[in-house]
A and B are shown apart, each in its own frame.
Chain A
Amino acid sequence: MPDTVITYIIRRLVAAIGLLVIVSAVTFSIFYLVPRWAGATPETLATRYVGRAATEDTVKLTAERLGLYDPIAVQYWNWAKGVVVGAEYDYGAGVERCPAPCLGYSFITKQPVWPELLDRIPVTLSLAAGASVLWLALGVAIGVLSALRRGSIFDRAAMTVALAGVSLPIFFTGLISLAFFSYQLGWTVPGGTFVKITDNPIKWAQALTLPWITLAFLFSAQYARLTRAGMLETMNEDFIRTARAKGLPERTVVVQHGLRGALTPIVTIFGLDVGLLLGGAVLTEKTFSLPGLGKYAVDGIVANDLPKILGVTLVAAVFIVLANLIVDLLYAVVDPRVRAK
């Protein structure tokens, strides 16, 4: 059994690497081709590194050193090689080493992308971790209660709010909660003040409370509806009647038999949602000015900063691929019938 699990994981990881190659190649092509269609040349691209004041020769030299004259396939190959083994850039004034995973240098800040990403990942991770725990607990609890009291005032109220939660955009609920909790009540700081959990856990939580709640509201709505539907189905199953016939207390029947039976789709969606969120909660980070991956990506796209965009895309893709793998493994943990296959 464990043997087959390990070969399964290895197979999936190999497939995942293939997927990452495809994702990065596609992104690379898009952001390589689009500026060129818009009239950009290797020289204008090189200008972005050396500045407009540079002489034509300097620009040409830079473009050459950056490999901007190479065909697209060669450029992609060099970029991918940098990710795996690192790269060396010769600026004329000396050789600069960019250790693996080398994601290149930002056109704008001239800083290496990977360390910048490393700074951003904890922000997005903190955001996703707190929000997901919150929405899972909230959504599942509300969904279960709604299903058990189907048709009651609680059920109807919860499902109405859930419908609103699913349909309202995050910048709307986010700005409203900002206006209310931060500016009106002064309970939380308005954002933009991310502090690492290792530096000061209290400030960390304070800065993230509002984004957590806003995100959790959006997501728990969906989870409440999903849980409710699943519970309504499983609580009608024969095995629930059996559980009651054994004399189990109703709480055990609901949680260990009902909810357990309804868990599979919830686990699946949860894994995928967390994976997506780790790629950057663009709107939330923007609304609350959190310096996470999402905001980094937007900044990159706005400035047409190819190395940044590629870097974030790759990291986001890694998160999503990993989340998928974990979901599939969890699936087997949750449903023993899957294990046989």
Chain B
Amino acid sequence: MTEPNSFLEVRDLRTHFPTDDGLVKSVDGLSFSLDRGKTLGIVGESGSGKSVTSLSIMGLHKGGSARISGEVLLDGQDLVSSSAEEVRLLRGKRMAMIFQDPLSAMHPYYTVGHQIIEAYRVHNKVTKAVAKKHAIEMLDRVGIPQPDKRVDAYPHQFSGGMRQRAMIAMALSCDPDLLIADEPTTALDVTVQAQILDLIRDLQREFNSAVIIITHDLGVVAELADDIQVMYAGRAIEYGTAEDIFDRPQHPYTWGLLGSMPRIDRERTERLIPIKGTPPSLINVPSGCAFNPRCNYASLNEGASETERPELLDIGAGHKVACHLSPGQRQKIWETDIKPKL
């Protein structure tokens, strides 16, 4: 499975939600690992289980209706079997999260400073004054001008980019070892997006934390990620280094993503290859390969795509793919069909 002793190890994580319509298998057998100082990008279409994965790691689905199994080892401690209270004490301190829309993710009735101070003081026994000084330092660190004044402002008084900076300051206030950013730039202007990504990269170097960045935007992961995990219907269908995914992608779905995803480093008017069809229901996931109803190559392997679920297998040097196509078939399709069009 995963190499031992990584800072974060997720093993066979499953998060299922019982609903009136049936069991929603939002995450269904996910394994990966991540070291300090490294960035993992998780990409996939809407509804592929990216956010549920990150919330499950953070323990934010604990106590709700979710059924969670598998292991999430943070520095050796399994968070899935830990109590809600144990995980709460780690949240914000050893692992922190920033969200997509900083306006709705911050409390409208409290000042930005208050919200950072609060995050700091849950885990540190310090006075309000000390915490406020720390909050101002953090705001300064994330590049907010006049931090000693802005600390007393309310979220609605900040611009979108400044708010996301403040969110980052809040998340990093306890110097966490793991930072999860769930679409941190989606709600922002294009020019601001690049600044926020630069900031995350700089801070990661400074804090030497492990970072998971979740996005629709392959341009974002191209900028930041060391490794990339491609998710489809709650599972990883391809995993590899950024070079693997961009230069030698192996899975037909990844090809589709590369052809259809918007990228900040590419003009939007450029020709995109959309993936046909829509993401599957997570209640009745197609049998065999979940991608088979949308795959152009499902007929190339004697019906295996419809009947047998492909395992995520290592095809060399940690590059993994879950597809029944043979390496030779994939090589040929990539070279002749896909690469020329990208």
Q: Are A244 and B91 in contact, with the CB atoms below 8 A?
A: yes
Q: Are A239 and B105 in contact, with the CB atoms below 8 A?
A: yes
Q: Does A110 contact B (CB under 8 A)?
A: no
Q: Does B108 contact A (CB under 8 A)?
A: yes
Q: Are A246 and B156 in contact, with the CB atoms below 8 A?
A: no
Q: Are A238 and B101 in contact, with the CB atoms below 8 A?
A: yes
Known interface pairs A237-B104, A244-B91, A245-B97; A335-B122 also in contact (CB < 8 Å): no
How distant is the Cα of A237 from the Cα of B108 in the complex, in angstroms? 11
- Chain B interface size band reads 20 to 34
| Contact of A239 (CB < 8 Å), options: B89, B91, B107, B111 | B107
Q: Are A246 and B92 in contact, with the CB atoms below 8 A?
A: yes
Report B115-152 residues with CB < 8 Å from chain A CB. 118-119, 122-123
Contact string against B for A residues 229-256, beta-carbon threshold 8 Å, 1 for contact and 0 otherwise: 0000000011101111111111000000
Q: Are A337 and B107 in contact, with the CB atoms below 8 A?
A: no
Report A122-148 residues with CB < 8 Å from chain B CB. none
| Contact of B154 (CB < 8 Å), options: A244, A260, A337 | A337
Chain A residues with Cβ below 8 Å from B58 are 245
Residue from B90, B96, B122, B157 with most neighbouring chain A CB atoms (10 Å): B122
Q: Does A279 contact B (CB under 8 A)?
A: no
A: number of interface residues (CB 8 Å):
21
Q: Are B156 and A337 in contact, with the CB atoms below 8 A?
A: yes
Chain A residues with Cβ below 8 Å from B91 are 244-247
How distant is the Cα of A249 from the Cα of B91 in the complex, in angstroms? 10
Q: Are A244 and B109 in contact, with the CB atoms below 8 A?
A: no
Q: Are A249 and B88 in contact, with the CB atoms below 8 A?
A: yes
Chain B residues with Cβ below 8 Å from A243 are 107
Q: Does A228 contact B (CB under 8 A)?
A: no
Q: Are B170 and A246 in contact, with the CB atoms below 8 A?
A: yes
Report B73-117 residues with CB < 8 Å from chain A CB. 88-93, 96-97, 99, 101, 104-111
Residue from A242, A246, A261, A335 with most neighbouring chain B CB atoms (10 Å): A246
Chain B residues with Cβ below 8 Å from A245 are 58, 60, 91-92, 96-97, 99, 171
How distant is the Cα of A178 from the Cα of B167 in the complex, in angstroms? 56
| Contact of B123 (CB < 8 Å), options: A244, A247, A334 | A247
Chain A residues with Cβ below 8 Å from B156 are 336-337, 340
| Contact of B108 (CB < 8 Å), options: A241, A248, A335 | A335
Chain B residues with Cβ below 8 Å from A335 are 108-109
How distant is the Cα of A124 from the Cα of B89 in the complex, in angstroms? 50
Known interface pairs A237-B104, A337-B108; A247-B99 also in contact (CB < 8 Å): no
Q: Are A261 and B60 in contact, with the CB atoms below 8 A?
A: no
How distant is the Cα of A335 from the Cα of B110 in the complex, in angstroms? 9
How distant is the Cα of A245 from the Cα of B123 in the complex, in angstroms? 12
Chain A residues with Cβ below 8 Å from B119 are 246-247
How distant is the Cα of A336 from the Cα of B154 in the complex, in angstroms? 8
Chain A residues with Cβ below 8 Å from B93 are 247
Q: Are A246 and B104 in contact, with the CB atoms below 8 A?
A: no
Q: Does A257 contact B (CB under 8 A)?
A: yes
Chain A residues with Cβ below 8 Å from B92 are 245-248
The 10 closest A-B pairs by CB, nearest first: A247-B92, A247-B91, A238-B104, A246-B92, A246-B119, A239-B107, A238-B105, A245-B97, A242-B105, A336-B154
Extra inter-chain contacts (6) besides given A238-B99, A238-B104, CB under 8 Å: A237-B104, A241-B55, A244-B60, A245-B92, A245-B99, A246-B170
- Which A residues have a C-beta under 8 Å from some C-beta of B? 237-239, 241-250, 257, 260-261, 334-337, 340
Listed A/B pairs (23) with beta-carbon separation below 8 Å:
A238-B105, A239-B105, A239-B107, A239-B108, A241-B105, A242-B105, A242-B106, A244-B60, A244-B91, A245-B97, A245-B171, A246-B92, A247-B89, A247-B93, A248-B122, A249-B88, A257-B107, A335-B109, A336-B108, A336-B109, A336-B111, A337-B108, A337-B154
